[in-house]
Amino acid sequence: MARLAVDMAKQVHRRHGGLSFPLDVEAMVTAEGCTCLDWPFLEPIREVKHGKWIGIADWLDEPERRRHLAHALGHHLMHRGNQLSFRTWQKINRWKQEREAEEFAAHLLVPEEELEKARGMGLSGLAERFGVPQDLVYQRVTAYATEDELARWQVASEEEPPG
């Protein structure tokens, strides 16, 4: 079953060919029609998206900044309209949208083809290679892994000699 976030990340990659890693997410966000603004948000606010504007906390380190810009871009591309939540059913929809935006960010920043090239690297090596936080890499290879990736990784682990 295809997942919207994964498909959308692949579409963005196709529109921006010749990518190098870590991605210049800010340039990509701008090319997709948004404007990034550094803002002195207070913890816990890291990013806010409104229309074409993405406000990003000016105190984030580069990996977190990359993650939150990609997350906001996911909202921009997949969840147009009012992002406010007032009712219980909207909270459920909001949770779904947050998960989709995070999955989009994970696949945008750590695409399947590039992840395959980096096979055998540990989480910290992958985080450094893609310029993202280590917890995002962990989510990418667990909760956000595609069925094809999981099947390939299972076959590869069965083919490895023990010990």
pLDDT at 1 (0 to 100): 41
pLDDT at 118 (0 to 100): 93
Count the neighbouring beta carbons within 10 Å of the beta carbon of residue 80.
Answer: 9
Q: For 134-160, what is the mean pLDDT?
A: 90
62-109 confidence digits (pLDDT tens): 999 999 999 999 999 998 764 554 555 566 677 888 999 999 999 999
Element (H, E) at 89: helix 88-109
pLDDT at 31 (0 to 100): 96
Q: Which residues pair with 48 in a beta bridge?
A: 55
What's the one-letter identity of residue 134? Answer: Q
* pTM score: 0.88
121 Cβ contact partners less than 8 Å away, ≥ 6 residues apart: 129
Separation of alpha carbons 48 and 42, rounded Å:
12
pLDDT at 161 (0 to 100): 60
Q: For 50-62, what is the mean pLDDT?
A: 95
Please provide the average confidence, as pLDDT, over all residues in the chain.
89
Q: If phi over 0 gives left and psi between -120 and 50 gives alpha, with beta otherwise, what is residue 132?
A: beta
Separation of alpha carbons 127 and 21, rounded Å:
11
